[in-house]
Amino acid sequence: MRYFIEPGYVSLNKKGEELCGDRVETIYHDGTMTTVLADGMGSGVKANILSTLTSKIISTIMASGLSIQDCVETVAQTLPICKVRQVAYSTFTILQIGVTGDAYMVQFDNPLCVLLRNGKHYDYPVEVNVVDGKTIYETRMKVELGDVFVMFSDGVPHAGIGITMNLGWQQENVIKQLEEQYSPDDSAKSTAAKLADVANALYLGEPGDDTTVAVMKVREKQTVSIMFGPPSNSEDDIPVTKKFMETDGIKIVSGGTTSKIVSRYLGKEVRTCLDYIDPKIPPYGMMDGVDLVSEGVLTLGHVMEMSNMIVSQNNTDLSWLQKKDGASIIAKYLFEYATDVNFFVGRAMNPAHQNPNLPLDLSIKLKIVEVLSKNLELMGKRVNVEYH
Amino acid sequence: MEIYICVGSSCHLKGSYNIIHTFQELINQYDLKDKVELKASFCLGRCTDGVATKINGEFVDHVSPENAVAVFHEHVLKPLGME
């Protein structure tokens, strides 16, 4: 079986800092997803430089297949030395998971990564090694479908120190929280956001340290396809619809004319409902054979705005998951459910949209697809866009 | 009697939400729930003449939040003999 490895992270800056001293790098190379979480010494600019160098060096070296010894040596020789403490220092956790399920993890001085298997804390094998005078924990294992690896900087177990708790949150309580908040449908990003949000609450909204959660989730491929707009040449209506209908997984039809084309092809009626949950977002509809029908540019415009919010590294707002309007439902399919997204974008002009007073013209539609697909890629999803 | 109100992109921007709201209120006010069915439609194919509606099988174009009450009187109440 080939797995899909989904990364997602959230970083909260220490109160008053513009830059985060924690850094997460994710790269996909040759069938392996690598995530590096580095926490630079101190905070602010200096910590940011240390952790950026560390994570960049490690992700680049590891992705090209060199050993952990090479990594540690390179990092040690490259990092600038802190004048105050006379050392160059950044902690790091490296997690690599291949599509075939082989995982390799290296941990140095970060709180230990928590693995959730079937929603429960799972003790993974650890080998202790000393490299260059540094104690390194190494793990080699096979992952299982649904495994969730949660890495975090010490800002998480330290949450609330001296504010809400004498000793801070502490590792075992972090594990308890992860088990309690677990839902099998949560994406990597939502898992990270939920945990970071609790940590933030323990800090009373003013983190005393940079606080980062990075998650890798082992999933199977789940495809969502969106047909958005009618083809510019109406002779292509049927072939494009046929291709769209032949995709696996969830199918969303977005746009009035587009829904008519698909309705005609399938011989099924669109059933709309009148409920305006949010006056800004047109109501959605249903049709046998597809999973959702929506209005086009306005609804997907909202989805695009939501994607901008979600990819920002310090977002912990998950309230959109509870909303029932068309844009939020599409967002859930795209951001939470999908590992693979196909856009079938039609470039026909709608004469009614060529009105300069309406924000509907073709260039806006193309812009929405461009931004949305870029953001989906940032979320670690595989995106395929075809124009007709 | 069936009433379709277009909620496609351009009709939405021209005020479908308010028109649906007005029609719902009028249906309640005149106690027409058993006689009139109000439905949304994604595209009635008359985008340049929005907001497009189809009342009792006939297209009624250029409906707006401003003339919604008048349209309801003319195309719904009149045919029902309630005017």
Place of tokens 């949150």: A169
Which residues in chain B touch residue A296, judged by CB atoms under 8 angstroms apart? Answer: 8-9
Would an 8 Å CB–CB cutoff place B43 in contact with chain A? yes
Mean pLDDT calculated for residue range A352-381: 87
- For chain A, give the percent of residues with pLDDT over 70: 98
Strand-pair partners of A92? A38, A108
- Confidence (pLDDT) at A47: 86
Q: Check residue A352 and give its pLDDT.
A: 75
Sign, Cα dihedral of A327, A330, A334, A340? negative
Helix axes A297-311, A362-378, angle to 10 degrees: 30
**The pair of three-digit structure tokens given for residue A12, joined into one six-digit string:** 């909260």
8 Å CB contact of A360 and B6: no
Nearest to A352 among B7, B42, B50 (CB): B50
Q: What is the pTM of this model?
A: 0.84
Q: Which of A204, A315, A312, A276 is nearest to B19 (CA)?
A: A276
In angstroms, rounded to a whole number, what is the distance separating the alpha carbons of residues A374 and A381? 10
What distance in Å separates the CA atoms of residue A343 and residue A30, rounded to the nearest whole number?
25
* pLDDT reported for residue A353: 77
Contact check, Cβ <8 Å, B40/A353: no
Cα(A243)–Cα(A30) distance, integer angstroms: 29
Are A261 and A301 within 8 A, CB to CB? no
CB distance from B29 to chain A under 8 Å?
A: no
Q: Is the dihedral of CA B13, B14, B15, B17 positive or negative?
A: negative
Q: Per the CB < 8 Å rule, is B8 touching A256? A: yes
Torsion angle of C-alpha atoms A177, A183, A187, A188, degrees rounded to 10? 30
Q: Name the pLDDT band for A46 (thresholds 50, 70, 90).
A: confident
What's the pLDDT score for residue A64?
A: 79
Q: How do the domains of chain B map onto residue ranges?
A: 2-77
CA distances (Å), origin B74, targets A163, B6, B7, B67, B77: 67, 19, 22, 11, 6
Q: What is the per-residue pLDDT across A208-253, written as a single tens digit (0 to 9) for each?
A: 889 999 999 999 999 999 999 999 999 999 999 999 999 999 999 9
pLDDT (0 to 100) of residue A82: 64
**Tell me: the pLDDT tens digits for A75-127?**
877 777 666 666 667 888 999 999 999 999 999 889 999 999 999 999 999 99
Neighbour count for residue A238 (Cβ, 10 Å): 13
- The stretches of chain A forming alpha helices (DSSP H) are 44-63, 68-78, 171-181, 188-202, 237-245, 256-266, 297-311, 326-331, 362-378
Number of CB pairs < 8 Å for A and B? 75
Residue A272: list chain B partners with CB under 8 A: 7, 39-42
Tell me the nearest-neighbour CA distance from B7 into chain A, angstroms: 6
Asked if the Cβ–Cβ distance from A295 to B9 is below 8 Å, we say yes
The first and second tokens of residue A139, run together, are 């793990």
Question: CATH top-level class for B2-77?
Answer: alpha beta
Query: A198 pLDDT band (50/70/90 cuts)?
Result: very high
**B40 touching chain A per CB within 8 A:** yes
Tokens coding A186: 């949560």
Q: Which residue has the higher pLDDT, B45 or A156?
A: A156
Per-residue pLDDT at A84: 67
Considering only CB atoms, which chain B residues are within 8 Å of A270?
A: 41-42
Chain centroid offset of residue A174 CA? 21
Extract the tokens encoding A342.
Answer: 């196909």
Give the separation between CA A51 and CA A30, rounded to whole angstroms. 25
Question: Which helix (H) or strand (E) element contains residue A203?
Answer: none
The verdict on a CB contact (< 8 Å) between B12 and A282 is yes
Q: Count CB-CB contacts under 10 A for residue A96.
A: 21
Task: Say if B61 is an interface residue toward chain A (CB within 8 Å).
Answer: no
CA distance A226 to chain B (A): 16
Nearest to A91 by CA among A10, A28, A25, A36: A36
Q: Which domains does chain A have, with CATH numbers?
A: 4-219 (3.60.40.10), 223-387 (no CATH)
Nearest CB to B10 within list A279, A283, A352: A352
Q: The complex's ipTM?
A: 0.80
| Chain A interface mutation, best of B28, B33, B42, B51, highest count of A Cβ atoms under 10 Å | B42
Instruction: Report the pLDDT value the prediction gives residue A203, as an integer from 0 to 100.
Output: 93
- At residue A50 the predicted structure's pLDDT band, cuts being 50, 70 and 90, is confident
- Within the 7-26 window of chain B, which residues sit less than 8 Å (CB to CB) from chain A? 7-10, 12-13, 16-17, 20, 24
Nearest CA in chain A to B44: A256
CA-based nearest residue in chain A for residue B6: A256
Under 8 Å between Cβ of A307 and A322 = no
CB A82 within 8 A of CB A34: no
pLDDT in tens, A60-85: 887 777 877 788 778 877 777 666 66
